[in-house]
Amino acid sequence: MAILNILRYPDPRLHKVAKPVTAFDQRLKQLIADMAQTMYDAPGVGLAASQVDVHEQLVVIDTSDTGNDLRVFINPEILWASEEKQIYDEGCLSVPGIYDGVERPAKVKVRALDADGKPFEVDADGLLAVCIQHEMDHLKGKVFVEYLSPLKRNRIKAKMQKEEREMKREKEKAKQYG
């Protein structure tokens, strides 16, 4: 297993639409294992393949307190979403340190394939429902900050770009004096 590089907002690759998974092979199983390790290491509760620059419809999620309930959703689709909405303070591994309220359906029914290509359905509410919808947005090329006002979104974008410049400067210094 390996820790993968997580793309940071506003990287344009985060806006690529993911293609359906068609091959359930060893490469896919390795990608799932690497994504899970990356998510746990970050630490986070969900990670879409798009966030690690693999534009395939694959999501890993673990909303448990113990970090031992990994769920894999391949080619997920929402079959039903409740009219009832909830606002949840969301964060994102691609937008580290930023949290803000996003309104989404409170409950969803999702159909997906597991790591072996077997179909399953899940009725989700609470954090799991939020996480599924958040990660599925990534597969469509959407980042949660796009639900926020243009003012907030622009502030976040500027902050992320500044942090990126500072990280590059630090790397250059380390190389120079390394």
| pLDDT at position 19 | 98
Q: Is 15 annotated as a binding residue?
A: no
In a domain, 116, yes or no: yes
Radius of gyration of the chain (CA): 17
In a domain, 48, yes or no: yes
pLDDT value at 70 more than 70: yes
In a domain, 7, yes or no: no
Q: Is 55 annotated as a binding residue?
A: no
Residue 25: alpha-carbon gap to chain centroid? 22
In a domain, 155, yes or no: no
Going by C-alpha positions, the residue among 125, 122, 95, 101 that lies closest to residue 111 is: 122
How far is the C-alpha of 166 from the C-alpha of 164, rounded, in Å?
Answer: 5
30: CATH: 3.90.45.10
CB 134 within 8 A of CB 142: no
* Residue 135 known to be catalytic: yes
Catalytic residue among 135, 163, 164, 172: 135
Number of domains forming the structure of the chain = 1
In a domain, 75, yes or no: yes
In a domain, 131, yes or no: yes
**Which structural domain range is residue 66 located in?**
12-148
Q: Is 92 annotated as a binding residue?
A: yes
Name the H helices within the chain. Answer: 26-41, 126-139, 150-177
| pLDDT at position 178 | 63
Q: Which whole number is the average pLDDT over 27-41?
A: 97
pLDDT interval class at 14 (50, 70, 90): very high
In a domain, 167, yes or no: no
pLDDT in tens, 84-114: 999 999 999 999 999 999 999 999 999 999 9
In a domain, 66, yes or no: yes
pLDDT interval class at 1 (50, 70, 90): confident
